[in-house]
Amino acid sequence: MVKIGYDKEARILSFRIGRGKSVDSDVQDTVVIDRDKQGRIVNVEIMDVGIEEFRKARPSMRKLAHLDPVKAR
């Protein structure tokens, strides 16, 4: 299951996808993708997301939260 978080102060939207520990990160523009030692994505962060964008995206995120990360590959 995907855990979704939003840090209002930092304006960061995060999707915790796996349980593994992040050992490597890919950064491109305002997106950070964290991978575990097997190269699997464990976390995705989107920087500089305002509260209005978060509210607009919330219905779609509810659908994502119910995905099994293994099946979603």
51-69: pLDDT as tens digits: 777 677 766 666 655 554 4
User: With 90 as the cut, is the pLDDT of residue 45 above it?
Assistant: yes
Q: Which residue has the tokens 């919330």?
A: 58
User: With 60 as the cut, is the pLDDT of residue 73 above it?
Assistant: no
Pick the closest to residue 16 from 31, 1, 27 (CA basis). 1
Q: What is the reported pLDDT for 64?
A: 56
Estimate to the nearest angstrom the gap between the alpha carbon of 61 and the chain centroid.
10
User: With 90 as the cut, is the pLDDT of residue 42 above it?
Assistant: yes
Q: Average pLDDT of 7-33? A: 91
Give all domains of the chain, ordered by start, each with its CATH number.
Answer: 3-65 (3.30.390)
User: With 90 as the cut, is the pLDDT of residue 36 above it?
Assistant: yes
Pick the closest to residue 4 from 43, 33, 35, 30 (CA basis). 43
Cβ proximity of 22 and 14 under 8 Å: no
Estimate to the nearest angstrom the gap between the alpha carbon of 43 and the chain centroid.
5
